């Protein structure tokens, strides 16, 4: 399935129906792509203004990075659905002999690790989106300051939503080293994300004169 090619209405219908995919993992990646697009817009609206000339090269970097993130996030949305289906398929494997039981258990673990890694990579990408939201909130066109905070808010919720998908899969992973690493990384990322949010809010308060 490729989500970038379906309409917004059809995406909503596929989410809403009685099948578990696409679910929170895929939706958070798509929302992350929206946040990246908003940041790109603010960067474009900044480049259009001569009085922001000293920030133009910075904004060009932001655009390049957000275009890359947007593509990646759509890939993660697709991969999230595949990863979930693989977990479900692994659980359906036969367990009538000791050997098959073992194979099934290994397949489940492999699938779960992948199902945790996809939203983990979404989170990593969203950290980049949040970093870019700080750049546009601080130095982007002030007329689009509400778009900068919108982008940051949406990226943060996409991060938290993807994080929930990491954590729910981690619960069933048996390999302690994989578990530990993922939990440690998520904690670090969370600290960074909250730190960036504070800086974005500060910039919006100072430059836009309002607090969300």
The two structure tokens encoding residue 52: 């922001």
CA distance 190 to 193: 5
Task: Determine, following the binding rule CB under 8 A, whether residue 1 of this chain makes contact with its own copies.
Answer: no
Closest CB to its own copies among residues 102, 175: 175
Closest CB to its own copies among residues 83, 151: 151
Q: What is the DSSP string of 159-173?
A: HHHHHHHHHHHHTT-
CA distance 40 to 136: 9
Q: What is the DSSP string of 169-193?
A: HHTT---HHHHHHHHHHHHHHHHHH
Query: Under a CB-based contact definition with an 8 Å cutoff, are residues 193 and 59 in contact?
Result: no
Taking the complex as a whole, the smallest distance from the CB of residue 95 to its own copies amounts, in Å, to 20
Task: Determine, following the binding rule CB under 8 A, whether residue 50 of this chain makes contact with its own copies.
Answer: no
| Of the candidate residues 136, 161, 182, 189, the single one contacting its own copies (CB under 8 A) | 161
Query: Under a CB-based contact definition with an 8 Å cutoff, are residues 162 and 25 in contact?
Result: yes
Task: Determine, following the binding rule CB under 8 A, whether residue 52 of this chain makes contact with its own copies.
Answer: no
Closest CB to its own copies among residues 127, 156: 156
Give me the phi and psi of 163, to 5 degrees please.
-60, -40
**Could you tell me how many residues of this chain bind its own copies (CB under 8 A)?**
65
Task: Determine, following the binding rule CB under 8 A, whether residue 88 of this chain makes contact with its own copies.
Answer: no
Of 176-205, which residues contact its own copies (CB under 8 A)? 204
Query: Other C-beta atoms within 10 Å of 211: how many?
Result: 9
Span interacting with its own copies, options 43-51, 91-99, 124-132, 174-182, rule CB under 8 A: 43-51
Task: Determine, following the binding rule CB under 8 A, whether residue 172 of this chain makes contact with its own copies.
Answer: no
Using a 10 angstrom Cβ sphere, with 0-12 exposed, 13-18 middle and 19 or more buried, the burial of residue 154 is: buried
Task: Determine, following the binding rule CB under 8 A, whether residue 7 of this chain makes contact with its own copies.
Answer: yes
Taking the complex as a whole, the smallest distance from the CB of residue 102 to its own copies amounts, in Å, to 25
The two structure tokens encoding residue 141: 């066109």
Q: Which residues would be at the binding site for its own copies (CB under 8 A)?
A: 3-9, 11-13, 15-20, 23-25, 27-28, 30-31, 33-34, 36-38, 40-41, 44-45, 47-48, 66-67, 70, 74, 143-147, 149-151, 153-154, 156-158, 160-161, 163-165, 167-168, 171, 204, 208-212
């Amino acid at each position: 399935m490729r989500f970038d090619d379906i309409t917004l209405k059809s995406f909503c219908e596929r989410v809403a129906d009685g099948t578990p995919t696409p679910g929170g993992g895929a939706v958070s990646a798509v929302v992350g792509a929206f946040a990246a697009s908003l940041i790109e817009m603010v960067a474009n609206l900044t480049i259009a203004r001569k009085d922001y000339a000293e920030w133009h090269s910075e904004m060009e970097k932001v655009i390049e990075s957000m275009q890359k993130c947007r593509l990646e996030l759509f890939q993660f949305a697709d991969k999230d659905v595949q990863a979930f289906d693989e977990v479900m398929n692994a659980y359906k494997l036969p367990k009538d002999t000791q050997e098959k039981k073992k194979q099934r258990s290994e397949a489940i673990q492999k699938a779960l690790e992948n199902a945790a890694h996809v939203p983990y990579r979404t989170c990593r990408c969203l950290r980049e989106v949040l970093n870019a939201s700080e750049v546009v909130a601080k130095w982007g066109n002030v007329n689009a300051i509400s778009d900068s905070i919108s982008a940051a808010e949406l990226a943060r919720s996409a991060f938290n939503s993807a994080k929930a998908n990491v954590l729910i899969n981690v619960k069933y992973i048996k390999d302690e080293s994989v578990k530990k690493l993922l939990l440690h990384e998520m904690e670090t990322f969370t600290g960074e994300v909250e730190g960036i949010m504070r800086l974005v809010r500060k910039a919006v308060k100072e430059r836009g004169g309002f607090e969300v």
